[in-house]
Structure 1
Amino acid sequence: MLQIHDALVQDAWGVFDIAQMPTDGGPETPSPLFSNDSGLDTRYNYNAYLHGQFNRDFHLSRQIKDLDLNAVLLDDPVFFPHTLHELSRLSIPFGIVLHNMESMARIPKDTQQQFSIFHEEIAAISQSKLCVTISREETWLLENMGINCFYYPYYPTKSLEDWLSAVRSARNQSEKKYIVSLGTAFNPPTYEGMCELATMWDSVNRGKEFLIIAGFGASLIKQIDANFESIYIANNVSEDEMFTILTECKACIIHQHSGAGALTKIPELLLAGVPVIASHHAARSYYDQSSLFMYDTLEDLPTALAAATSAPPPRCSVMRRDEGLRASIARAF
């Protein structure tokens, strides 16, 4: 995460970009992460992505012995089995930066497969000196399993924070025209939530508001059976287009029934002054945000929408924990 890099750069931690590693030429890596769901694999090219990631991991592991490493912070450990094995073999201590628990993030098609991923993930994380996570719930779970964790709530980089502040200022003079739902449709829980929202929009909204669904891969939503007369799909919008959407929207709906980690879009929207209405699952890790409006089912959405659009501009009370992060890493290593 860029935020963690920014917090640690002054402490002489370097960054290795795995994107430069080849995505082919490695051995077949068995993993319960591979999906047997042809629909999931076809929509997201999921298994091919995993093969490429494991090949990058293999090539990275081959370089470990030639690097002068005192300690390593590694992203999402289930994607780095070869590297973890090599770090352990060489007795190099490592920590984990957990974007989200992969065993909780995938749409469960096979319960036994989910347990297999969970077992593999916990086994990897438990070898670390420290696990840094942006999720309160995952911190709670891992600490109860005896794993040393630090909760580091997501906060945008300085450049993004400035951009969000500009949106907030522009909203003071803008006419509010529509409701928006933002997210990456290439993320399965986000895709499922957007599909349900689009399908139910007519019945819960009753023609009162126009809805824009925007984000990477949003065109996938057009393929479902829904009435799009009061819905516009904005696919892969530019930064200028997103600025306009956020400036002119009345509120943003984030609808999920599954998913892990914490939704970084929530503090970003609150910083931009956009009222946020989220399902209880989507609101995970942010229940303490007084400006966040939550609902249990889509039938409750009109009430939450009315409350959000009549409230004062929201505030974000998420605080950076950079000093605590540095102290936790210093103790761990």
Structure 2
Amino acid sequence: MKILRISFFDSNPWGDGGAKRTAQITEILSRIESGEQCIKFEDYYANSFSRIHFTKLQVLKIGIAILSRYKLLYHLANKKRPHTFLANVGVTFLVTKDILNSFVFERVILENTRSEYWYLPYFLDYLGIDFIALPHNLEALVPGQVSFLSQKRAPNWLTEELKKLTLAEKLFTISHEEAWLLSIYQLGGTYLPYWPADEVYQHLKKIRVKRKNTEKQGALIIGSATNPPTYQGMALVIDYFSNKKSFQYPIYLAGYQTDKIFNHLYKDCPDTIQFLGAISQERLTELLTEVKCVIINQQNSSGALTKILEFLIAGIPLVVNQESIRSYQNVNGIYPFYCHDQIESYLDQKLGIPSMPQYPEREINYFVNFVNTWIQKRSQF
């Protein structure tokens, strides 16, 4: 095994967007010649921490050495206890080194995302380990996200995120927009679009077939109400339709905590609006077969919404706000809206069946060939 992949998500094709992206990468990398192993970093942290031994002076020296090399010492000014922060950097470095020593590998693929793991690109570079990065999104552009290092709020710490990404030999992004932005900074981002794992793809194709023989009515809004951009977008749509007492189409709101949060906030909603909460895969399949469309109204963020592509594969028209479309501009089956009146207008129309999206063979083959070549170059030395 020559590649170790470090992720922060379970590889679950039926999970949330992060888990789906990790599952996609797992399926793609099954095609590489040398083999790879994926680890969820946090699952190994506690065991490694219990194994290592260190003195306070030792970890302070390590922390100073690493922050000095990468010109990060100025962040100490933001810390109430700078010595504690330095010691934590040193301890985390020793833990990370111990985790890496548990595996036999030559190179690393880093699915770099969360701000609290800001140190991983620096540690890999410090240890002389070559890596490529597949950020699920640019975290510094996600509304509400705060930098672990500087405590700045998005998007004011974008330069921090870009700085650590410069250490990667190659960057692959899930959206066109992020690849373009990285190229502006001369970081050479390459677009690797999302495509569902095969078992999910086959399931979505079955929904497309079933929809041909069912009467369509109403709309579905789905997502976790605990995700701020998703919650804000949902609330705006419900605000609009809750004041439409004569609105005749059912609107289903499904997803984690949608029943508890929205039933509490919208006690006087018309009966046509139903808050379902978390639902089973079977119930979701029924809804996707029956509804006229899916409404997506997420606030500005980075990355790309995996569910847009999945719903298109399932043959479901999508009514989507401009901020959510991102990498799916001008795609057949997407009906953009700029004000909520347009949603109601779309529900009064006959919406056509979206064309079946094409498998991104060129982009995925490029990624596979790049990884194979990357490994072979190292093996020659």
Fold equivalence (TM over 0.5): yes
How is 1:139-288 mapped onto 2 (pairs within 5 angstroms)? 139-203=179-243, 206-219=246-259, 220-225=261-266, 227-229=268-270, 230-288=272-330
Partner of 2:371: 329
* Secondary structure of residue in 1 paired with 2:144: coil
Unmatched tracts of structure 2, length 5 or more: 1-21, 51-58, 64-71, 73-90, 376-381
Match of 1:104 among 111, 121, 141: 141
Partner of 1:17: 40
Task: Write out per-residue CA displacement over residues 232-264 of structure 1, whole angstroms, 9 at most, x where no aligned residue.
Answer: 111110011101111111111001222221111
- In structure 1, how many angstroms separate the alpha carbons of the residues matched to 2:156 and 2:372? 33
Contact 1:278 1:295 in 2 (8 A): yes
Instruction: Using structure 2 for the length normalisation, give the TM-score.
Output: 0.73
Change (3 A) 1:56 1:160: farther
Contact 2:144 2:154 in 1 (8 A): no
Contact 1:153 1:319 in 2 (8 A): no
Change (3 A) 1:248 1:205: farther
Which structure has the bigger radius of gyration?
2
- In structure 1, how many angstroms separate the alpha carbons of the residues matched to 2:303 and 2:185? 17
- In structure 1, how many angstroms separate the alpha carbons of the residues matched to 2:216 and 2:179? 38
Pairwise CA distance, 1:79: 4.2
Aligned length: 307
Pairwise CA distance, 1:323: 0.6
How is 1:303-322 mapped onto 2 (pairs within 5 angstroms)? 303-307=345-349, 310-320=350-360, 321-322=363-364
Question: Is it true that 1:72 corresponds to 2:93 in the alignment?
Answer: no
Is the deviation greater in 172-181 or in 95-104? 172-181
Pairwise CA distance, 1:184: 2.1
- In structure 1, how many angstroms separate the alpha carbons of the residues matched to 2:356 and 2:225? 25
Aligned residues with identical type, % of pairs: 22
Unmatched tracts of structure 1, length 5 or more: 32-54
Contact 2:173 2:189 in 1 (8 A): yes
Contact 2:234 2:297 in 1 (8 A): yes
Question: Is it true that 1:62 corresponds to 2:98 in the alignment?
Answer: yes
* Secondary structure of residue in 2 paired with 1:285: helix
Task: Write out per-residue CA displacement over residues 43-88 of structure 1, whole angstroms, 9 at most, x where no aligned residue.
Answer: xxxxxxxxxxxx9997444322453332111112444334323211
Partner of 1:120: 160
Pairwise CA distance, 1:286: 0.2
- In structure 2, how many angstroms separate the alpha carbons of the residues matched to 1:57 and 1:262? 32
